[in-house]
Chain A
Amino acid sequence: MTRRPPLVLVAPAAAAVAFLVLPGVALVQRAPWSSLHDLLTESAVADAMRLSLVVSLAATAVAVALGLPLAWLLARVDFPGRALLRALVLLPMVLPPVVGGTALLFALGRRGLVGQWLDRWFGLTLPFSTTGAIVAATFVAMPFFVLTVEAAIRQSDPGLEDAAATLGATPLTTFRRVTVPLVAPSIAAGAALTWARALGEFGATVAFAGNVPGRTQTLPLATFLALESRPEEAIALSLVLLAVSLAVLVSLRRHWILR
């Protein structure tokens, strides 16, 4: 039985939709459709698009590889200071990204806390490199993955894991064969969120990795600079980000999240 939804809920919801969608519509309306193809096939733009894909996908891969064990640890292992640790690892979500990027410089820069040793021992300099851009994107995006997956593991039935253990499965086997399949939809959802965040990442990247065309100049950086002198190109670049993320989020939602 469905009843008419109350207006007091529908009206603010509609306002929220209008507020969130309107800027996107305005962007599409301002798009230079006739010159769009030329703008987007320019080699600098193509470079930024390719780099954005590489950086955001690599950041997502790192976030999944490191974030999944962390989410499991936070959800399933009881240890002193767990609440504090959770707050600390989620910090990048509330830290202004530019501050996060500068903090990364303090930590991993050429003269940073750890970075000076990376530089001295391995000759590894992260700023101004694509690896640096991946580090920055991972820093801001990984918490989204950890948060999503931790909540899912918490809500999954620990009885199934206990059953596996009583049947002789080692903790690692239980994690691989029971826990991960149980929360697979949330892993996909978390990865999608993480990827979207990494794709749009600007502040930490520009502060930590700088703006080097072909190496660290991702789509958001190229867009920001284009806005300074070539607004048409900025709009075209934004349309690409808009279209790609919309497509991926919609398709993910249909195939994995809402099974």
Chain B
Amino acid sequence: MTRILLATVALLAAACSSTSKPTVRVLAASSLTDVYAQLASEFEEAHPGVDVELQFAGSSQLASLVVEGAPGDVFASADLVTMARVVDRGEARVDPEVFATNSLTLVVPTDNPAGVTGLDDLADRDLLVAQCAVEVPCGSAASALFASRDLVVEADSLEPNVRAVLTKVELGEVDVGVVYSTDALAAADRVAEVPLDPQRVANEYAIVTLDGAPAEADEFVAFVLSAAGRAALADHGFGLP
């Protein structure tokens, strides 16, 4: 019994012991997963000895973590409202900066079984439609998009995040899904895109250094805002401010 206890304590100690390397803990919106992984490794290459630790989740979930005091150095949110939640609570060290935009698009299974050609088709009640739940940013953006075209769309499922919408489309469970352009690009080999015309910016991404972060965190933010960062973002289908 005592031995088990000691082993547990030793294990916990080993897990908690940190290396001497300065670490930048980045909390970023799920939709930034691919591009931030690339940016982080480029940044680490340019700054030997600095470790970038990435954590991805829905922006609101991350904002709750920050506000409840979870450790983090940089926060990148998929919308300005969520960013404001963090800034208003005094968690940010500087003013947030908008570094990318995203727009909504339609994705269909590769064989497009329902023959979807554009946004207006979504008003068809027989069409199986998946979108994000209105509680998360991609869902409220979708609803705003429908409203802007005076469309009444009754979604068959309100998914908790945009990746879940993609999965439902990829597996053919729905005829069409509303996702971000970046997600459609990332999944181009598994789903087909029906681009919207005209495109409409759905959301703006903002980044900020959090209170108490090391100086390297500011360098990471500067790197995201630099020409190299913008090029990577554009490669992944993001719009630039």
Contact A8 B158 (CB under 8 A): no
A110: nearest chain-B partner, CB-CB: B173
A106 at the binding interface (Cβ < 8 Å): yes
**Count of chain B residues near A, Cβ 8 A:** 23
A12 to B9, CA, bound (A): 12
Question: Which candidate, A64-72, A134-142, A154-162, A220-228, is the interface stretch facing chain B?
Answer: A220-228
Contact B135 A225 (CB under 8 A): yes
B158: nearest chain-A partner, CB-CB: A211
Residues in chain A near residue B156, CB distance under 8 A:
128, 210, 212
10 contacts between A and B (CB under 8 A): A8-B1, A111-B171, A128-B157, A211-B157, A221-B160, A225-B133, A225-B160, A227-B64, A228-B60, A228-B135
Contact B159 A228 (CB under 8 A): no
CB distance from B107 to the nearest CB of A (A): 16
Determine the main DSSP class of A at the interface with B: helix
B164 at the binding interface (Cβ < 8 Å): yes
A106: nearest chain-B partner, CB-CB: B171
Contact A229 B135 (CB under 8 A): yes
Residues in chain A near residue B58, CB distance under 8 A:
228
CB distance from B71 to the nearest CB of A (A): 19
B2: nearest chain-A partner, CB-CB: A8
Find B173's partner among A127, A224, A228, A230 (CB 8 Å cutoff). Answer: A127
Residues in chain B near residue A32, CB distance under 8 A:
none
A216 to B5, CA, bound (A): 43
Residues in chain B near residue A52, CB distance under 8 A:
none
Residues in chain B near residue A230, CB distance under 8 A:
135
Contact of A228 with B136 at beta-carbon distance under 8 Å, contacts A128-B156, A211-B159 already known: yes
